[in-house]
Amino acid sequence: MPAVDFDAERTFDADRFVAREAVRTDRTKVVCGYFEPGQFIPVHAPESDVVVSVRSGTGLVREGDDEHRVEPGDVFVVEAGTPRGIKADDDGRLEALLVTAPPPTDEEHGPVREGLRRGEFDPGA
């Protein structure tokens, strides 16, 4: 079983969040997510469950119409088909481990690409 070295994967980008894929199988995808202040994964609703485990920093996790404040040690689960997104607070970096099951398809990540292109956290709003 592969080990995930969160510190070794750490990479930040001034232009957009970084998702470092650590493990991928047919059933699961594990990503180390690194966000500069204010960066985000746009709201999208793939047919996969996601577990978000916050390692450091603060921000919010969108789950449907609800927004949850997050901090280190928080773990959130968002069910498949539910709109979700993650955003770092404007005053600091956010690091989180993201586990999706099953891995989202490329088509399901279309709203993510569109939101990043337009600079919108909720491209469907």
Question: Any bridge partners for residue 20, and if so which?
Answer: 32
Number of domains in the chain: 1
For residue 20, the model assigns a pLDDT of 95
Average pLDDT in the chain: 94
Bond into 72 cis (ω within 30): no
Domain contains 46:
yes
What tens digit of pLDDT does each residue of 37-76 get? 999 999 999 999 999 999 999 999 999 999 999 999 999 9
* Domain membership of residue 76 as a residue range: 17-118
What tens digit of pLDDT does each residue of 20-29 get? 999 999 999 9
55 and 97 in contact (C-beta within 8 Å)?
Answer: yes
For residue 125, the model assigns a pLDDT of 72
Mean pLDDT of 95-102: 97
Instruction: For residues 43 and 111, give the distance between their C-alpha atoms in angstroms, rounded to a whole number.
Output: 7
- Which has more pLDDT, 8 or 48? 48
For residue 1, the model assigns a pLDDT of 57
CATH number at residue 69: 2.60.120.10
- Which has more pLDDT, 8 or 58? 58
Provide the whole-model pTM: 0.92
| Token reading at 74 | 């928080």
Domain contains 12:
no
Domain contains 42:
yes
